[in-house]
Amino acid sequence: MALNDPVEPEVEMERDFVRPFLATAGRTRSSLSDLRIETLVEATAKLEDGLRFEAARVAKLCREPNSVAEISAKLKIPLGAVKVIVGDLVGSNHVRTHKTIEGETPEDMQLISRLIAGVRKL
């Protein structure tokens, strides 16, 4: 819920960009607060026609899975704005988001083992 948490009184992070996801479809999975900087975003098969400029660029980049942070860095869009755009694109079914491994479920254990094996091989 980081985005909805009260920020320190004197500091507002990109408040202008942060608005509730409700504007589109209100599906819980795609709420902005689930979107982490490492969350991979991937385009669906839906065409990008009709999307406004920045949203179209994001959707296009995400034909290959890219994290929220990568979208921000590669397209030079501030993080907060990327989250809003991705939230909208999830709502309009142009992209979907993938799970992150946070070490909390039993299936995470297997994934972590694969991460370890991978790092060992580096």
Closest listed residue to residue 60, CA positions, set 47, 78, 76, 73: 47
* Site string (26-55) toward other proteins, x via CB under 8 A: ----------xxxxx-xxxx-x--------
Q: Which residue is listed with tokens 């509730």?
A: 20
The secondary structure of residue 10, as a DSSP letter, is: T
* 65 lines the binding site for other proteins (CB under 8 A): yes
* 73 lines the binding site for other proteins (CB under 8 A): yes
CB 95 within 8 A of CB 41: yes
Q: How far is the CB of 57 from other proteins (least distance, A)?
A: 15
* 101 lines the binding site for other proteins (CB under 8 A): yes
